[in-house]
Chains A and B, each alone.
Chain A
Amino acid sequence: MSNARRGTTNGAPVRTEGLTKVFYDENRGEVRAVDRVDLTCRQGEILGLLGANGAGKTTTLRMLSTVLQPTSGRAWVMGHEVRDQPERVRASLGFYSASTALYPKITPRETLRFFARMNRYPARQVDERVEELVRRFRIQDYADTRVEKLSSGMKQKVSIARTVVHDPPVLIFDEPTVALDVLNAIELRQFIAQLRGEGKAILFSTHIMSEAEQLCDRIAIIHHGEILATGTLDELREATGLHYLEEIFVHYAQVDDPAQAAEEQLR
């Protein structure tokens, strides 16, 4: 990474500056899904993106992972700008969400090998890395069984292994526990905490307050596409004088009537 790039990102693996995404909808016209978002995620940190459904969390993360192009603003991942060097950005991160499923017709071992190769893991070390993950995630027993025949818990393990197979310094988890049962959700959160211990920069989006409280080092509250506040839980408590994250969220989002807000969200 060049010094110039380090300067741009201030040394943080992930940084955004005025990141904006505007969609055009035939019925609603221009929709500002993400509005001038400034974020920074440091090494060895879990930054939680907390917001209701439709707040702009997924769109923000999709721009960071280069699936979507920003309408304006900039974002860097490991010093690579998302618009200028999308392949390098993608090689530097692992993306996990409910919409990133596995290929049903291939086996976990084939899956890991494919994603390692495509994400630029050194070719000679691919097999070694795959076997390491097979052991680490304890998937030896079904490593050569087609994914379509695995249980959802098994698939989840393979999916996480797929996300980290190229050993990326940045990881994005977009509402990862949304379709999981309690035990699998706990296991996933434990694994994410382990990754933080390994020095990864982790962006974690959720609408579940308790999850954000337990796992995140810092929390960014996003509502209607805008970041309303960012800080540690203690900082947010101090700033608002409120104890529970749910109350803090309602305070920032200025939601007087949650039922009415949910109705608006649906519209």
Chain B
Amino acid sequence: MAPRQIWTLYIHEIRSALRERSILIGSILIPLVMYPALLWAGFAGVSFVQGQAERLTSQVAVHGLPVTHRALVDSIESNGRTVVIEWDDDPAAAREEVARGSLDLLVEFRTVADGAAALDENFQVAIYYNGAQDRSRGARSRVESAIETYRRNWIDTARRDLGIPNPVWADFAMARSDVATVEESTRFLLAMIVPFLTLIMVALAAFYPAIDATAGERERSTWETLMTLAVPRSHVATAKYLYVATFGAMGGLLNLAALTLSLRWILQPLAGADAQELAQGGLPLETLPIIAVGTALLGLFVAAGMLVFAVFARNFKEGQSMITPFYLVVILPAIFVQSPDIEFSVGLALLPVVNVALLLREAIMGSVPLLPGLLTLASMAVCVAVAVGFAQWVMRNEEVLLGSSQGGLWSFLKRRIGQGRAAA
């Protein structure tokens, strides 16, 4: 009897919710369409801005350039996006221009005192740039690169003139090579993005259903109608909880599905022709069950937490203000997973929400450490049970049921503690 009643109540909640526009938008449409679209727009925007910055011509002042190194000017101007201005006045004036932004860079050459350098005509360069200006930072990067190339060639010529063989010189050479495959690089990128988006999506998708299931009932004056049903109150609470959890988990999973399907399209602005190859290294199929379980656990936890806060609200506005702090606390762990240095340790596996975010990150990277993985499942199961138990306890309270409770969860707990002390 109990499962059938809970099922009927659950279906009733779901049916009403699917006919509510705000819930449809927040829990289905946004996870499915908006975030993939926003990501694409974000990447396209970054790519566009970079392209615009690269097309800009930099004004670079050069002061004290030795006559023997005049070829360096050609080297700096060779990229076609840098104009060199010979600055014969006081360099302090040029530094001020850079600070004001009317000049992008000042390159100040300083001759080395006689006998202090191994090579004649050696020089030192001081570059003044404006770190607050994108154009100035870009010019610095290009000019540094040009000077480095010139310096290397000039030293190489001097080496030959001095009769030093190249292999001896080359002993100091440094080479670098990326050993990661395209697939691994894509997974790394996804591991940084997906847990963050999943957390936001689950919390967002559960947000409106949690308010609808509690404050919404009061606002529509259907709460008392519901309380007169011939079923235990715990069934009503369970059905509401399952409804909110379903929407939370569904939001997360829909977002994952949308991301997977639109990966190539999202990466296009960043990777161009390589997007197809990058997209092929997307979410590994074997990790999808782990990701699904993690998302479901998040949905179950977030639903219980949100119901505990929302049950005190008498209308949608109160519901929003009561849930928002919890929403922010839930998405805060996203910061953790953004740092690849944070290890999925046993300690972090016991921390709710953070553990699931890290579990998702590891799953996408292709390897979930067994002990932290199992501890995450156990820890989240315990947290969900405690949160659901607490939500049921709060919802059984008469003043909460009737919406006559003043304030939110903290005021309620304070009163309960006060009453307990008075009774003692």
Interface, chain A (partner B; CB < 8 A): 24, 26, 65-69, 86-88, 90-91, 93, 95, 97-106, 110, 114-115, 117-120, 146, 162, 166
Contacts and interface: CB of A to CB of B under 8 A. Distances in A.
Contact of A118 (B20, B220, B229): B229
Contact of B402 (A24, A66, A67): A67
Contact of A67 (B12, B227, B231): B227
Contacts, number: 71
A118 B5 contact: yes
Contacts of A68: 398, 402
B402 A97 contact: no
Given A69-B398, A100-B221, A100-B222, 11 more contacts: A67-B401, A68-B402, A90-B229, A97-B224, A100-B228, A103-B16, A110-B15, A114-B8, A115-B229, A119-B229, A166-B230
7 contacts: A26-B406, A69-B398, A95-B228, A99-B224, A117-B8, A118-B9, A118-B230
B220 A104 contact: yes
Contacts of A65: 228
Contacts of B230: 87-88, 90-91, 118-120, 166
The listed residue with most A CB atoms (<10 A of its CB), out of B222, B224, B228, is B228
Q: In the A-B complex, list the 7 residue pairs whose CB atoms are closest, starting with the nearest.
A: A91-B230, A101-B221, A105-B19, A90-B230, A100-B225, A105-B16, A95-B228
B272 interface: no
A103 B228 contact: no
Interface string B379-419: 00000000000000000001001100010000000000001
Given A103-B220, A104-B220, A87 B15 contact: no
A167 to B, nearest CB: 13
B42 interface: no
A14 to B, nearest CB: 15
Contact of B231 (A69, A99, A100, A118): A118
Contacts of A69: 398
* Residue in B9, B12, B220, B232 with the greatest tally of chain A CB atoms within 10 Å: B12
Given A114-B8, A119-B230, A102 B222 contact: yes
Main secondary structure of the interface of A (DSSP, over half): loop
Nearest to B404: A23
Contacts of B419: 24
Contact of A103 (B222, B227, B398, B402): B222
Nearest to B8: A117
A159 B307 CA distance: 28
B15 A106 contact: yes
Nearest to A69: B398
A117 B230 CA distance: 9
Interface string B209-239: 0000000000011101101111110000000
A101 B220 contact: yes
Contacts of B229: 90, 115, 118-119
Contacts of A115: 229
Given A26-B406, A87-B230, A119-B230, A99 B221 contact: yes
Contacts of B224: 67, 95, 97, 99-100
Contacts of A91: 230
A120 B229 CA distance: 9
Given A67-B401, A101-B221, A106 B16 contact: yes
B228 A90 contact: yes
Nearest to A104: B220
Interface string B13-42: 001100110000000000000000000000
A194 B232 CA distance: 31
B225 A101 contact: yes
A105 B13 CA distance: 10
Nearest to A118: B229
B8 A102 contact: no
Nearest to A86: B232
Nearest to B406: A26
A67 B16 CA distance: 23
Contacts of B402: 67-68
B74 to A, nearest CB: 74
A97 B402 CA distance: 14
